[in-house]
Homo-oligomer: A and B are copies of this chain.
Amino acid sequence: MTGNSPDFTVSLRAAGLRPTRQRVALARVLFEGGHRHVTAESLHAEVKATPMPVSLATVYNTLNQFRDAGLLREVVVAPGRSYFDTNTGHHHHFFVETDGELHDFPSDEVTIAGLPAPPEGTRLSRVDVIVRVRR
């Protein structure tokens, strides 16, 4: 270890996942920079160009595992395709419908008041605000 990149081996193990070369490669692409929104296809295209290419099946498996482990959150804004979000904190999204781009905005700038009580027998899971815009 050269000492200047986060140790994904540790975080993967902490998440109950073996730090395989493929998972470490994907973790690097996903978490090394700032927050990101990727699709399986876009992530696959990116990782294919690295010294550790990963099959599309593994990209799907890994995105689902990372999501289940709480390392990613899944965002559904458009029919037929899922986005995965490296920002797992509280925040909301702009969705640019004309080109499929997602942008974060912090949820503490926004006040949502007067939400009705959840239907009988249900408990709150999450509140998503999606601001749809077009160019």
Residues on the B chain within 8 Å of A80, using CB: 80
Contact with B along A102-126 (1 / 0, CB 8 A): 0101000111111110110111111
Which of these binds chain B: A3-11, A12-20, A46-54, A70-78?
Answer: A70-78
Residue A79, interface by CB 8 Å: yes
**Minimum distance in angstroms from A46 CB to a CB of chain B:** 21
Of B109, B111, B116, B129, the residue contacting A111 (CB under 8 A) is B111
- Interface size grouping (class) on chain A: 35 or more
- CA–CA, A133 and B125, complex, Å: 5
B116, B124, B132: which contacts A105 (Cβ < 8 A)?
Answer: B116
Cβ-defined partner of A132 (8 Å) among B97, B114, B115, B126 = B126
Residues of B within 8 A of A79 (CB): 74, 76, 81-82
A134 proximity list for chain B (CB < 8 A)? 122-123, 125
